[in-house]
Chains A and B, each alone.
Chain A
Amino acid sequence: MRIVTDPGSQSWYEASARQRVAGLVDEDSFEEFLGPAERAMSPHLPLFDLPRAFDDGIVVGRAKLDGRPVLVAAQEGRFMGGAFGEIHGGKLVGLLRAAITAKPAAVLILFDTGGVRLQEANAGETAIAETMRAIADARTAGIPVIGLIGGRAGCYGGGGLIAGTCSRLAVSEQGRISVSGPEVIETNKGAEEFDSRDRALVWRTMGGKHRRLTGGADAYCADTVAAFREAAIRLIGTAPAFDLAMLEAEQARLEARVKRFGDCRDATEIWARLGVNDPDAVPAMTDAAFAETVASVTEASHDAR
């Protein structure tokens, strides 16, 4: 049996980490580092009587994107929620450090993570800090680090902080970016603060459309592998520098956001203040209509990241 569907038309949300990588980069160009046959598996999960994965839930390697060399990391959100364990984190850190000498056209991080893997929490937390430092080093060396977010597990916890460290982010409607997840907020602060079962509230507060409209992400993609590929290629060419001027601009951008929207209770109020005519229509908007709306919002696009 041959798979006849075009891999590019495949849903990013539904695809596995390996399928995303295969469809994202140039055909047959991906070469994996520390692949499954090397069996670099968690030394800790057996203590918790939990099954391991041959790749510890992250695929890393090199490939070509539109003919140019890139390094790629893809998290598998279905294995332990794509969470950072010791090996998972070590693979991402190693890949980013490798960028300094390999000098690829970009490093692509395909986020799909709930944050830190609790069974390996200290290792995961430390790896997140190492990853952020390695991203800063890569960006300083002029290598764009592009985050792609549209997976099942979203981009939560430390994953959200790593995303905020990237040069550019592409997000689909399904791609949620946040530090505290809905369940975490509800557990700690009660359902009045955040009702995690209210899916519409989750999408409005941390989903791709809100992040794109407020400048929390730089590109909005349809939920296909082809759309993420196109966005990644485009974003590489627009990556901002990592220097004092950029961080001063980001400081001003984020301060202005908090000042302007700090009293808003819901995303729809923010969208209205951004000049969106019918904010209540945003969640149901088609991708094409949403692209037009984004184009009319000046705050959505910037070099302050």
Chain B
Amino acid sequence: MTLAEILSSVFPRGHAVTVADGLVTGQGSLDGKPLHVIGVDGDTPLGVEGALALSAAVLDVVRTGDRAPILVAIDSDSQRMSRRDELLGLNECLAHLAKALLLADRLGHPTIGLIYGHSAAGAFIATALATRVLAALPGANPSVMDLPSVARVTKLPLEKLQEMAKSTPVFAPGLDNMVATGAVHVVLDAEKPLDGQVRELIAALPASDTRDTLGEERGGRPVAREIAERVQRQARGG
């Protein structure tokens, strides 16, 4: 689905969401209440300016105090890879965006990620992965690194990696694997209207970070939850 199709499906009565330089901001109305939207469209890499523009939009929402949800719609590249971005502190800007989303969520604005295209690495962490619940549309393609690059770094033949990817979701790119890891909570049905599906997501928000439990149940991250739990248990003892 394109962003325009998604927005018409979420906001059948129209919306005030705009895209500039690949950055998505604005709002629409869901059940007569505001639903804010930020995002990245068109496989755009996220650099310092983009991250700060989105964080500004999030903080504007928090300042209204309307406790309305924020939809984070993502079809991005990875972080913008440049000398200038790193010189200007891209790590701070991306972390700031993630912190703004985390704060908004804490202050009563439920954050719902919606990945409908690509996203990778730092851009993925600062946007879609910084939400309370992350949904995906079929055809979305989140990844950390594509298999040919993994083959280069790990010095393993691409054919072997492709074979391994079938049984080992922990390293392979793609939506199914991110679902198995628990990073993506749910895949929406593109054939049905999205407003109802977004409403259901908001109504059934998990109270805490359940991604490691999902990863354990789905088999894509078999031990993370248990490891974190064991550390917490030992920290409680003694």
Contacts and interface: CB of A to CB of B under 8 A. Distances in A.
Contacts of A262: 84, 88
B234 A33 contact: yes
B187 to A, nearest CB: 16
A77 interface: no
B11 interface: no
Given A31-B238, A119-B154, A243-B103, A251 B231 contact: no
Given A122-B144, A258-B48, A258-B52, A97 B232 contact: yes
B92 A129 contact: no
Nearest to A165: B95
B102 A90 contact: no
Interface of chain A: mostly helix, strand, loop or mixed: helix
A265 B87 CA distance: 9
Chain B interface bracket (under 10, 10 to 19, 20 to 34, 35 or more): 35 or more
A178 B81 CA distance: 11
Interface in B28-65: 48-49, 52, 55-56, 59, 62-63
A47 B232 contact: no
A47 B164 contact: yes
A121 B235 contact: no
Contact of B63 (A48, A164, A184, A244): A244
A144 interface: no
Given A116-B121, A184-B81, A265-B84, 6 more contacts: A118-B153, A119-B171, A122-B181, A133-B102, A242-B103, A247-B100
User: What are the 6 tightest A-B residue pairs by CB atom distance, in nearest-first order?
Assistant: A164-B95, A94-B231, A160-B91, A90-B227, A94-B228, A98-B235
30 contacts: A34-B230, A40-B227, A43-B222, A86-B227, A89-B224, A97-B232, A101-B236, A118-B153, A121-B145, A122-B172, A123-B170, A123-B215, A125-B125, A126-B181, A126-B221, A129-B130, A129-B211, A130-B209, A160-B91, A161-B91, A164-B99, A165-B98, A180-B81, A180-B122, A185-B82, A188-B81, A247-B103, A255-B52, A258-B48, A305-B92
Interface of B: 48-49, 52, 55-56, 59, 62-63, 79, 81-96, 98-100, 102-103, 106-107, 121-122, 124-126, 129-130, 144-145, 150, 153-154, 156, 164, 168-173, 177-178, 180-183, 209, 211-212, 215, 220-232, 234-236, 238
